[in-house]
Chain A
Amino acid sequence: MTAHKYGFLIDASRCIDCRACLVACSAENNVSMKHTRIWIKDTGIVGEFPDLKHYTAPYHCMHCTDPACVSACTVGALQQNEDGIVTYDNDRCIGCRYCMYACPFEVPYFEWDKQFALITKCDFCISRLEEGQAEPACAATCPTDAIQFGSREEMLALARERIKNEPGRYVDHVFGEHENGGTSTFFISPVPFEQLGFPTTERTESSARFNREVTEIGTPIIASAVALGMTGIYLALKPKTGKHAAEKTEHTEEKTAQAQEE
């Protein structure tokens, strides 16, 4: 029925904060370590001495099923592929930064320090996948399999299975299953996602839908209502020719009088 969709599963309980994924992303995408498309969310130190904990999770673009950024992008630089990957065309982007406000997951990053600045964002290492490599760089590098890559269904099933098998290890929440209408990146975690600093949302519909309602339905309605309304009112209120003509002459007379004054 639907095309094959890629997916990620990121397991915070497996992350050891080694940041090899950041290095891999930097090397693969030829970006500085400051501009990697993956970064670490963490809880800080939690718990009571001596039972202290520090949870971390790598975090990158969620690749929403109905991405708000794609709907918002002024020039269509952000697009969604059939396989669910949200791509970014850096030859089109004008750097307006609307996607940064549109994204409910606070993902797009702007190159503030550059003279000609663009957005940076994870694209599933699409060029690697197109070359026939099995995984994006971060997933291939992760030493503890905290980042796993596969089909969306597989990853979602795996997330549920892990929670089911070890309910003590995870909170019962697959982040990304319903958030913003569902995504292609799933997270499971030993602590609630707020604690990891994830943007929490209760909305299970993408804000892209509301956006389309106003831009693709609302605006054309307003436009046609105004155009027709104005034409109608103009014709309805148009004074009878005689009176109008009288006004016009008066108007011209005024003008001539003024011209003479000058």
Chain B
Amino acid sequence: MAINVKIKSIKLLQGLPRFAYLLAVLTALGMSASLYRLYAGLGDTTNMSTVFPWGLWISFDLTTVAFAGAAFTLAALVYIFHMHDLHAAVRPTVLFGLLGYGSVLVILFFDLGRWDRFWHFLVYPNLSSALFEVSWCIAIYTTILIYEFSPVLLEKTKYKKLLGFIEKITIPMVIAGITFSSMHQSSLGSLFVIMEPRLHPLWYSIIQPEFFLLSSLAAGISTIIIGSFVSIKLFGKTLEQKMIEKLGRLMPWILGLYLVIKVGELAFAGELDLLFTSGMLSVLFLAEMILGVIIPAVLFSIRKIRTSRVASLVAALFVAAGILLNRFDATWFAIKKLNGESYFPSWIEIALLVGVASGVLLVYTLAAHFFPVFSETLNARSLSEANAGASQPAHTPAGD
């Protein structure tokens, strides 16, 4: 019997991509780093300080939440704007969102001085705290993501009776998910409103919440496009180019609006001169704007680029780099140094981060292996056909 079970489990793991084992090793290393952090406290294990009470982990959290915005962006497009041909991307994207938020929650846990009291935000509310809003909305939204992903897990079990009920409440749940997402995406921007003395004026703004919300939409779409490419390599699955083209069409609008408000806000505050007088920070800000916003906005407005798989990927990578830089700027690079003290993460901070990221990627791989996550997506082999299809004019006018 025991041998039988063993053989069965070996068989189950057959066909698992080889990088999964590398991820498992990195996860184990990260777990040891995290145990050491719990044992030794934050002072001995991190380079955070009184001057920089937040570090790499918070930068990672904000970046990940932005990219995990893919889930609510796609849910809005598919269920609310009725772009049903994007439906194939829903499962892989919801899983990405769920695991993205999972990694953020795990990292936050290790970031707390009193991690044993992480649940306090549930019972001690402070309604004017942006971090309280963020905590609650992330908790609720993660629950909604679990709901949205549950059919994948239940489909082949005896609980599939529940599927009917799950489907019935889809629309209200999706709307709730989008609402709580918008709230915490913007509340993450609200975090910085009170940090006026510490954040450089190029990034400080009372409408930071709106900037964060808008950029999370761009981050979400770029994530779906990049993901459709990565999943060819890893799982042999992808999306039709027609869908990627459709997503790309939204980008110039979102990025353009972002650019206009961002520059407008600086002009309104009389801070346009800072664009060129803040040394390295000017360079970072302009890099965000030019590489992450202007270039991809132009690229995505060209039809030839949207219909090309590789060109779309490149344009999406520009957006992603811009988002990454923006979140790291706001939480790290553009934070005013005091007494000349600067911050660079310790190796334990990096190891823990790599471990958690590897852990969620491993879970993703396993889930994709054992559950019908990619059931509606294309096989990469039929890609050439799909490309041929996309180069013909689109039949359904959607969006514009």
Contact = CB atoms under 8 A, between A and B. Distances in A.
Interface of A: 68, 71-77, 92-98, 100-102, 104, 106, 109-119, 199, 201, 203, 207-208, 210-216, 218-219, 222-223, 226-227, 230-231, 233-234, 237-239, 247, 251, 254, 258
A79 to B, nearest CB: 9
A131 to B, nearest CB: 27
A71 B129 contact: yes
B41 A117 contact: yes
Given A75-B121, A94-B117, A234-B79, A223 B194 contact: no
B124 A218 contact: no
Contacts of B161: none
Contacts of A233: 80-81
Contacts, number: 193
A207 B193 CA distance: 8
Interface residues of B, number: 65
Given A75-B125, A112-B48, 4 more contacts: A76-B125, A98-B129, A115-B38, A215-B130
Contacts of B131: 72, 74, 96, 98
Contacts of B50: 100, 106, 109-110, 112
B154 interface: no
Contacts of A114: 41, 43, 113
A93 B129 CA distance: 14
Nearest to A68: B194
Contacts of B116: 116
Nearest to B181: A226
B278 interface: no
A212 B179 contact: no
A173 B44 CA distance: 41
A92 B124 CA distance: 8
A116 B113 contact: yes
Contacts of B114: 93-95, 116-118
Nearest to A77: B124
B223 interface: no
B66 to A, nearest CB: 16
A30 B183 CA distance: 42
Q: Is the interface of B mostly helix, strand, loop or mixed?
A: helix
Given A71-B128, A114-B41, A117-B42, A95 B338 contact: no
Given A211-B128, A227-B179, A110 B196 contact: no
A97 B125 CA distance: 16
Interface string B17-61: 000000000000000000000111111100011100110000000
Contacts of B163: none
Interface stretch (B184-192, B265-273, B294-302): B184-192
A216 B113 contact: no
Interface in B108-152: 111-118, 120-121, 124-133, 135
Contact of A95 (B113, B133, B135, B196): B113
Contact of B206 (A77, A199, A210): A210
B178 A230 contact: yes
Interface centre among B175, B194, B206 (most CB of A within 10 A): B194
A211 B190 contact: yes
A226 B178 contact: yes
B111 to A, nearest CB: 7
Contacts of B128: 71, 208, 211-212, 215-216
Contact of A113 (B41, B133, B176, B213): B41
B190 A215 contact: yes
Contacts of A111: 43, 113
Interface in B189-204: 190-191, 193-198
Nearest to B136: A74
A249 to B, nearest CB: 13
B39 A214 contact: no
Contacts of B63: none
B51 to A, nearest CB: 8
A95 B171 CA distance: 38
Given A207-B194, A210-B196, A215 B187 contact: yes
Nearest to B117: A94
A72 B131 CA distance: 7
A95 B46 CA distance: 15
B182 interface: yes
14 contacts: A72-B130, A75-B121, A94-B114, A94-B117, A101-B194, A102-B194, A118-B113, A208-B128, A218-B190, A219-B133, A226-B183, A230-B80, A230-B178, A239-B82
B74 to A, nearest CB: 14
Contacts of B38: 115
B368 to A, nearest CB: 15
A131 B76 CA distance: 59
Given A94-B113, A101-B195, A219-B186, A214 B82 contact: no
A86 to B, nearest CB: 14
Contact of B182 (A93, A212, A223): A223
Contacts of A109: 50
A211 B114 CA distance: 25
A201 B186 contact: no
Given A94-B114, A226-B179, A227-B179, A115 B187 contact: no
